[in-house]
Chains A and B, each alone.
Chain A
Amino acid sequence: MSDQPPTAQMARAAVAGLDGALPPGISSAMDLRGAVRARCDVVVIGSGAGGAVLAAGLAEAGHSVVVLEEGGAYTKADFDLQEATAYPQLYQERGTRATADMAVTILQGRSVGGSTTVNWTTCYRTPPRILAHWRATYGLELSEETLRPHFEAVERRLSITPWPEQNANRNNQTLGRGARKLGWEASPTRRNVKGCANSGYCGVGCPVDGKQAMHVTYLRDLVAAGGRVLADCRADRVALSPDGGQARGVEASVVDRATGKPTGATLTIEAKVVVASAGAIHTPALLMRSGLRDGPVGRRTFLHPVVGIGGAFAERVDGFYGAPQSMASHQFIDRGPDKIGFFMEAVPVQPMLIAFASGQFGTGLRDMMAQLPHLAVLIGLAVDGLLPGDDGGHVEVEGDPGDGGGRIRVHYPIGAALREAMAAMHEALAKVQLAAGATTAFSLHSEPVQLRSDADLPALRAAPYGALEHGIFSAHQMGGAAMGKDPARAVVTPSLRHGRVSNLFVVDGSVLPTALGVNPSQTIYGLAHHARSAVLSAAREGK
């Protein structure tokens, strides 16, 4: 490699247009050799909920667009519905991502389509109470009215519609039935599906393209408009002008899909506008690798920390089949000004996920797993980031050698308020399971607390809560490059433009100033749709 800074190399190099350098459509960068250079209007880093929606709009407006994706490109023909295949193939760190202390298991997608390829399809508009909190606390003018046309547009494109309650599988019926018996709110979710086979395999890649994930929707729109997606290509850094005020493009490495290691080939893309859409963990890491440590980058990372409670039923539940999430309860979303609220949903009761989540081992694990068809598993998701002083976690790039090869670490301390919420979630979930008819409800402590009736609740209350005391998970990563008016508290402006680099935007879940209290995918789709106009203006200015 040259000793010259990337920016200088880029300025001197003869840069090809896209047609000479990169194949059309969705392709793998593993076919590239040597040092490839190309030029386009907008380069988008990440092909998930943020990047795909934004990129499609830019291409349709006539701009040349390249989307870089670190993961592989797959279609339904690649999805064999085996957890053993899917988690290593479609999730970050082969499905093993966790916080640095191992306390929180982090499920996050890593393929063309990002997490939308593996999410469980649950869609909500951003709750009004969250928008109000952002307005009051961060000066954000986003309102239901502002966002409505954007939400309507993505709802049309992604077929986001209510899932009929009669189609809920028995695991989700457990949540609805139990909550309502207790007098608690429970409602069917909306899902981004069309022609859904109700298979239950959303989390391992939809086998029938029923899920309207990015690779079957907005990325197809992008390609139809002449845009390109390059898979197996890791953005190492944003190349900046000497004064740091302008992005010149992106320096990227081709990674081998099988090993995750760089092949040695590199790609340099010069662009008028650079968009970071790599998600709430990788976008802050990319900014930090690029020397953009302005503001609270990598700080206030939120996870919607999840705990679970199992229920053993006399009858079969068969929770491995049927849409994994179709009912939810927001009964405890607001627990007052001093407590962390939560909501309750269901999960796919598939063997690997449940064996891992249980925290047990040996004969105890084996005996629990032998009951799999009779188990219902429900989760509580804590809404982090709303209480004063709840700053969530942070992201760091450990031992970065400067070539993008540093290890990304997520740190997430679990404080007293969250431990209290975890205890409350356990109690609410256990009550739901018992009210729904579970013969036994059990916690995911390594030595599970078993409950046969509400009389056993004191034992659950007395159990320890917090890091490495029981299973804790996250499927929703948010924050780390927050939007806001105050540069001291935000990384990007309300229009998602970087605070210092005027042609750099962040369009993904990392811009969320707090967690949402609902599954975040639709908020990210909507914000990306909303951001199209600002990014389009920047691309036009750059011409």
Chain B
Amino acid sequence: MTRQREAQGGSPASPARRRLLQVGLGGTVLLGLGGLGFWLWRPHSARIAPSDLKTLDAGAWQVLAAVAACICPEGKGFPSADAIGVASRVDALLAGLHPTTVGEIRQLLGLLENPASSLLLDGRIGSFSGADAATQAQILAGWRDSDIAVKRAGFKALSGLCASSYYSHPDVFAHVGYPGPPDYGNVRRAEPGAAQGGTAAAPAQGAL
């Protein structure tokens, strides 16, 4: 409730302040800094990027995979984001978006990873992918609650992509108590093994 208390404590100007920072620092400038991320620094990651990426380079994919693991952590029986293939699923989704949007996502990942921007914006030393899981979660929470609009919006974009990809995967359904869609028997299954409903649940009338 930290943010709520802060707001209650008299910072109704918070949105205005973010706007000011957005104008002052400039989203474009910030994102441009992100663009340097993969040029100057290689992500610290044990994850090996697949060779058939559609939009991201290996470095951006590795940072995205680290973000995905943080947004959708393994545990309590839930599979890991790596097991679900979240970063690659997001990479494939991005292939259908406007090139400018894809470029911004790349830059966001660079901004998150880039030690220089981390030092400048967060006062922290080191890259995102080189941090431990708890620190990564703190960094993402910092972006979420940031007064800098680009970071807050960036958190929403990255977390939304990862959470949507993870929780729409049939391997996660059982863990959230979702039996999956009923099978009406009329669907062309273009890709065997592609996302399908898992168990054939009773139609809704029966379930109600």
Contact = CB atoms under 8 A, between A and B. Distances in A.
A83 B93 CA distance: 13
A373 B173 CA distance: 11
B177 interface: yes
B149 A361 contact: no
Interface residues of B, number: 68
Interface in A362-415: 362-363, 365-366, 369-374, 398-399, 407, 414
Nearest to A316: B177
Contacts, number: 192
B11 to A, nearest CB: 8
B204 interface: yes
A464 B93 contact: no
A374 B177 CA distance: 9
Nearest to B98: A407
Interface stretch (B33-41, B58-66, B124-132, B161-169): B161-169
Contacts of A462: 4-5, 7-8
A102 B73 contact: no
Interface string A200-216: 11001001100000000
A258 B95 CA distance: 9
Given A82-B196, A356-B163, A366-B72, A321 B204 contact: yes
Interface size class of A (residues with CB under 8 A): 35 or more
Given A77-B188, A361-B159, A84 B1 contact: no
B44 interface: no
Contact of A467 (B15, B182, B205): B15
Contacts of B96: 88, 94, 258-260
B205 A372 contact: no
Interface SS of B by simple majority: helix
B144 A446 contact: yes
A464 B161 CA distance: 24
B32 interface: no
Interface in B168-208: 168-170, 172-173, 175-178, 181-182, 184, 186-189, 194-197, 201, 203-205, 207-208
A464 B167 contact: no
B31 interface: no
Nearest to A101: B153
Contacts of B70: 361-362
Interface in A204-244: 204, 207-208
A494 interface: no
B161 to A, nearest CB: 7
7 contacts: A80-B181, A81-B182, A96-B93, A207-B181, A259-B95, A320-B178, A468-B156
